[in-house]
Amino acid sequence: MWSRILRVTVLKFKSLILAAAALASASLIPALTTPVEAKGCLKGMIVGGVAGHYAGHGVVGAVGGCIAGREMAKAAEKKKLEQQNAPAVAPVLGPNGKPM
């Protein structure tokens, strides 16, 4: 009797895990099929994939690395544009007209 209850419980648990995995993979499909600029993504994917491989989750690490690498590349690009578009700072002149 206990073995039957245990078997039913295990089957319910397996079906719950399978449903969760299907839902998770279905939610990732739109994110993986949208076009992504490769700037930062490839480098992050390699690093994340290697780190994920050692943790036992290579694909998840690669996807996370791609996302993180892309965000870091965006931040670096934004910083570079801000530096290029920064207004020129005029020197502060003293009362005699010379820079202080």
- Residue-level pLDDT at 1: 62
Burial 8-35 (b: 16+ CB within 10 A, else e): eeeeeeeeeeeeeeeeeeeeeeeeeeee
| Model confidence pLDDT, tens digit, residues 34-87 | 555 667 777 787 888 888 877 777 788 888 888 888 888 889 889 988 888 877
**Termini Cα distance of the chain:** 92
Average pLDDT over residues 21-28: 70
97: phi > 0 → left, psi -120 to 50 → alpha, else beta; which?
A: left
49 and 64 in contact (C-beta within 8 Å)? Answer: no
Q: What are the residue boundaries of the structural domains of the chain, listed by start?
A: 1-34, 35-85
Whether 11 has a pLDDT exceeding 80, the answer reads no
